[in-house]
Amino acid sequence: MAMRVVTAAAELLGAESLVEVSSAHIDGCLHHGDGGVEFAEALVEGGGRVVVPTTLNVGALDLLHPDVVRADAHKTDMARRQMEAYVAMGAQPTFTCAPYQVGHEPGVGEQVAWGESNAIAFVNSVLGARTERYGDFLDACCALTGRAPLHGLHLAENRTATVVIDATAVPEALKSRDVFYPVLGTWLGLQIGQEIPVIKGLPPTTTRDQLKALGAAAASSGAVALFHVAGVTPEAPTVEAAIGLGSRVPPTSPPGWESRQLRSLPRTVLLDSGSVRSALRRLSTAGGSDRIDAVALGSPHFSTREFRALHRCLRGRSLGVPFYVCTARDTLADVEAAGIADELRSSGVEIVADTCVVVTPILPARNGVLMTNSGKFAHYGPSNTGYDVLYGSLEDCVESAITGDVVRSQEVWAW
C-alpha cells in the first residue's frame, strides 16, 4: 500500500523513477483528525515497518507531562494512538520538529524523505542533504518503502540558486544578533517565495540556531525549502558555486560566451533597512500593546544552547506571566542532567516536550498578547491560538515577562 502511494505521487509529480532514501522524518504523527489515526493504525495492522532511520515530528500531546494539554478525552486518546502507531512502526519517538538537534543528521548529498517545513529547510540548506517537501502521509510511505519520487530538490540541477540576496549593507552588530535571523527569514519568504536564494554578506560565524531560525521563518512566510549562505552552508562555499557558475563553463568557451553567461545570471536583491523594518513590523500583530499575557519560545524546538542563553538571561528571577518553552524530550533530558531545567522551572518557566503551543491547546484559554522570539510562532500564533503576538529578542521576552510590561530593544534596528 505504501509503495502504491509513493508511485502514484511520483506519477502525479512527473517523476520518471524513484530514489532510494537513507532516512525519513515523519510529520504525520500530529493529530488533525481521526482519519490520520486510522491511516497510521492501518499501516501497523498490515505489518508496516520503517526500513530507514526515521524520526517523528511533534504530536498533539506532551507524553511526558500529559496534563499540560487542555484537550477533551477523545482528542487526547486519538492523539496518543496516532503517536504510538508510528512508534509501533519502528520510528524513533523523538517527537520534535528539529530532529537535527537530537542526532538525526544525514550528510551532504544524502537522499532523504523529510516532512515539516523547518526541518526540510534545515536538512536541505544547513546539512546539504536532499529532500523535497513531504507532507502527511506521503512521508510515512517513504519511510516504509525507503523510496521517494526522484524530482525537484532531489536533483542537483534543481538546487542551484536562482536569486542572490545581498546582505552586505546590514550592520555587523545586527547580523551578530539572534533576533535578526527570524526577521531575515520572514522577509526572505515574503520576497522570494519558492525560489532558491543564496545570501551573501552574512558572517562566517553564523550559528546553527540562527540558520534554524532563518529557515523556519522563510518556510512559514513563504515556501522556501532550500537556501544557501555564501561561505557558511555546504553547497555554497562561494556565491558562484551556489548559482552553478562553474558547472556552466564549457571546456572551450566560444566567442561571446561570457556576455551571454552574464545575461543569464540570477538577479540580485539588495537587503536594505526599509525591507528589514517592514518584515520586523509584520511579526507583531499587537503593535500598540504595552502589556503581555504570556511568552512562548521554541518553534522550532529550543536547543541546548538556547536553554543556556535563557538561563543566563533569567538569572534566577521570577516571571510574572505564563512562560512556555517547547523542546524535544532528548534536549530536555540534557538540560535536566545539567541542572538548568530545575532552575528555570523555579523561576516560573513551563517546559513543554513532544509538542508546542501552536499545534495543541496549552496556552490559557483566553485571548491576549503573546510575546515570542520565534518567527514561526509569530506567523502562526494569531490564527492557531487566538492570541495577538509581539516579536522581540530572547532578552526582550524575559524582561517583559518579569512584570508583564512590554520591553523591546529598538536601537539594534537603527540603521
Which domains are delineated in the chain? 2-156 (3.30.499), 160-280 (no CATH), 284-413 (3.30.499.10)
The grid coordinates listed for 210 are 540562527
Q: At what angle do helices 34-45 and 138-145 cross, to 10 degrees?
A: 10
Q: Which of 69-73, 200-204, 251-255, 405-409 has the lowest mean pLDDT?
A: 251-255
pLDDT score of 281 more than 70: yes
Residue 283 and residue 186 in contact, taking contact as beta carbons nearer than 8 Å: yes
Mean pLDDT (the chain, rounded): 94
Give Cβ neighbours of residue 131 (< 8 Å, ≥ 6 apart). 111, 112, 113, 114, 120, 123, 124, 148, 153, 154
Among 116-120, 245-249, 400-404, 410-414, the least confident range: 245-249
pLDDT in tens, 7-62: 999 999 999 999 999 999 999 999 999 999 999 999 999 999 999 999 999 999 99
Judged against a pLDDT cut of 50, whether residue 263 lies above it is answered with no
**For residue range 110-139, what is the model confidence (pLDDT) as tens digits?**
999 999 999 999 999 999 999 999 989 999
Q: What is the pLDDT, as a whole number, of residue 305?
A: 98
pLDDT at 180 over 90: yes
Q: What is the pLDDT of residues 233-261, one digit of tens each?
A: 999 999 999 999 754 444 454 555 444 44
Q: What is the pLDDT of residue 254?
A: 55
What is the share, in percent, of the chain residues with pLDDT greater than 90?
A: 91
Given a cut of 90, whether residue 265 has pLDDT beyond it is no
Q: Does position 177 have pLDDT exceeding 70, yes or no?
A: yes
pLDDT > 90? residue 148: yes
Q: What is the pLDDT of residues 325-378, one digit of tens each?
A: 999 999 999 999 999 999 999 999 999 999 999 999 999 977 899 999 999 999
Q: Contact 185/217 with Cβ under 8 angstroms?
A: yes
Cell 486518546 belongs to 77
Asked whether 170 and 201 are in contact (CB, 8 A), the reply is yes
